[in-house]
A and B are shown apart, each in its own frame.
Chain A
Amino acid sequence: MSTQMSPTAAVATGAVGGISVIENAVCSFCGCLCDDIVVEVNDGKIARVRKVCANGRGLFTHYDPTPRPPTVDGREVNWEEAVAEAARILDAAASPLIYGLSSTATEAQRKAVALADKLGAMIDTTSSVCHGPTGLAMQAVGEPTCTLGEVRNRADLLVFWGCNPAVSHIRHFARYSVTPKGTLTPKGRRDRTVVVVDVRTTLSAKAADLFLQVRPGADFEMLSALRALVQGKEIEAETVDGVPTAQLQELAERMKTCRFGVAFMGMGLTQSRGRDLNVSELFTLVAELNQYTRFSVIPMRGHGNVAGADQVLTWQSGYPFAVSFARGYPRYGPGEFSTVDVLARGEADAALILASDPVAHFPSAAAQQLERIPTIALDPNRNLTTQVARVVFPTACYGVDAAGTAYRMDGVPIRLRPVLPVVRPTDVEILDQIIEAVQQC
Chain B
Amino acid sequence: MKEHFTLITGRTPEQGKGLHEGKDSEAYRSATALVEMNPEDMAHLEIEEEQVVRVRTDTGHVEVPVHAGTLPPGLLFIPMGPAANVLIGTETESTGMPPFKGLTAEVEPI
27 A-B pairs (CB sep. < 8 Å): A55-B16, A58-B17, A132-B95, A167-B13, A168-B16, A200-B8, A200-B72, A200-B77, A213-B72, A216-B101, A217-B102, A272-B101, A335-B92, A338-B95, A338-B97, A340-B90, A340-B92, A340-B97, A343-B90, A360-B82, A363-B85, A363-B88, A363-B89, A366-B90, A367-B85, A383-B23, A387-B24
**Are the CB atoms of A322 and B72 closer together than 8 Å?**
no
**Are the CB atoms of B95 and A167 closer together than 8 Å?**
no
Asked if B71 CB lies within 8 Å of chain A CBs, one says: yes
Beyond contacts A59-B20, A335-B93: 7 other A-B pairs, Cβ-Cβ < 8 A, are A200-B69, A217-B102, A276-B95, A364-B82, A364-B86, A381-B22, A382-B23
The interface of chain B, by Cβ under 8 A from chain A, is: 6, 8, 10-13, 16-17, 19-24, 59-60, 69-72, 75, 77, 80-82, 85-86, 88-90, 92-102
Taken together as a complex, chains A and B put the C-alpha atoms of A357 and B15 apart, in Å, by 14
Taken together as a complex, chains A and B put the C-alpha atoms of A133 and B97 apart, in Å, by 7
Asked if A273 CB lies within 8 Å of chain B CBs, one says: yes
**Closest B residue to A302 using CB positions:** B11
Contacts of B6 on A, CB cut-off 8 Å? 216-217
* Shortest Cβ distance from residue B68 to the other chain A in the assembled complex, whole angstroms: 13
Asked if A44 CB lies within 8 Å of chain B CBs, one says: no
The interface of chain A, by Cβ under 8 A from chain B, is: 54-55, 57-59, 61-62, 124, 128-129, 132-133, 136, 164, 167-168, 199-201, 213, 216-217, 267-268, 270-273, 275-276, 321-322, 334-336, 338-341, 343-344, 357, 360-367, 381-384, 387
* Shortest Cβ distance from residue B15 to the other chain A in the assembled complex, whole angstroms: 9
Contacts of B17 on A, CB cut-off 8 Å? 54-55, 58
**Are the CB atoms of A216 and B8 closer together than 8 Å?**
yes
Taken together as a complex, chains A and B put the C-alpha atoms of A217 and B8 apart, in Å, by 10
**Are the CB atoms of A363 and B98 closer together than 8 Å?**
yes
**Are the CB atoms of B96 and A335 closer together than 8 Å?**
yes
Given contacts A213-B72, A382-B24, contact A199 B8 (CB under 8 A): yes
Taken together as a complex, chains A and B put the C-alpha atoms of A87 and B23 apart, in Å, by 28
Taken together as a complex, chains A and B put the C-alpha atoms of A201 and B38 apart, in Å, by 12
**Are the CB atoms of A132 and B101 closer together than 8 Å?**
no
* Shortest Cβ distance from residue B49 to the other chain A in the assembled complex, whole angstroms: 18
**Closest A residue to B71 using CB positions:** A200
**Are the CB atoms of A58 and B20 closer together than 8 Å?**
yes
Taken together as a complex, chains A and B put the C-alpha atoms of A334 and B94 apart, in Å, by 6
Taken together as a complex, chains A and B put the C-alpha atoms of A276 and B96 apart, in Å, by 11
Taken together as a complex, chains A and B put the C-alpha atoms of A335 and B102 apart, in Å, by 19
Taken together as a complex, chains A and B put the C-alpha atoms of A273 and B103 apart, in Å, by 9
Given contacts A340-B92, A344-B90, contact A267 B20 (CB under 8 A): no
Contacts of A167 on B, CB cut-off 8 Å? 11-13, 16
* Shortest Cβ distance from residue A379 to the other chain B in the assembled complex, whole angstroms: 11
**Are the CB atoms of B72 and A199 closer together than 8 Å?**
yes
Given contacts A62-B21, A267-B10, A363-B59, contact A200 B75 (CB under 8 A): yes
**Are the CB atoms of A365 and B95 closer together than 8 Å?**
no
By Cβ-Cβ distance, the 6 closest A-B pairs, closest first, are A58-B20, A338-B96, A335-B94, A344-B90, A128-B96, A271-B100
Given contacts A167-B11, A387-B24, contact A334 B96 (CB under 8 A): yes
Q: Which single member of A267, A322, A343, A364 contacts B85 (CB below 8 Å)? A: A364
**Closest B residue to A213 using CB positions:** B72
Taken together as a complex, chains A and B put the C-alpha atoms of A270 and B73 apart, in Å, by 23
Contacts of A387 on B, CB cut-off 8 Å? 24
Q: Which single member of B11, B69, B86, B96 contacts A132 (CB below 8 Å)? A: B96
* Shortest Cβ distance from residue A127 to the other chain B in the assembled complex, whole angstroms: 8
Contacts of B92 on A, CB cut-off 8 Å? 334-335, 338, 340-341
**Closest B residue to A334 using CB positions:** B96
Q: Which single member of A216, A382, A384 contacts B82 (CB below 8 Å)? A: A384
Contacts of A268 on B, CB cut-off 8 Å? 101
**Are the CB atoms of B75 and A136 closer together than 8 Å?**
no
Contacts of A321 on B, CB cut-off 8 Å? 96
Taken together as a complex, chains A and B put the C-alpha atoms of A199 and B70 apart, in Å, by 10
* Shortest Cβ distance from residue B25 to the other chain A in the assembled complex, whole angstroms: 10
Taken together as a complex, chains A and B put the C-alpha atoms of A268 and B11 apart, in Å, by 11
**Are the CB atoms of B96 and A339 closer together than 8 Å?**
yes
Contacts of B90 on A, CB cut-off 8 Å? 340-341, 343-344, 363, 365-366
Contacts of B20 on A, CB cut-off 8 Å? 57-59, 61-62
**Are the CB atoms of B23 and A357 closer together than 8 Å?**
yes
**Are the CB atoms of A201 and B10 closer together than 8 Å?**
no
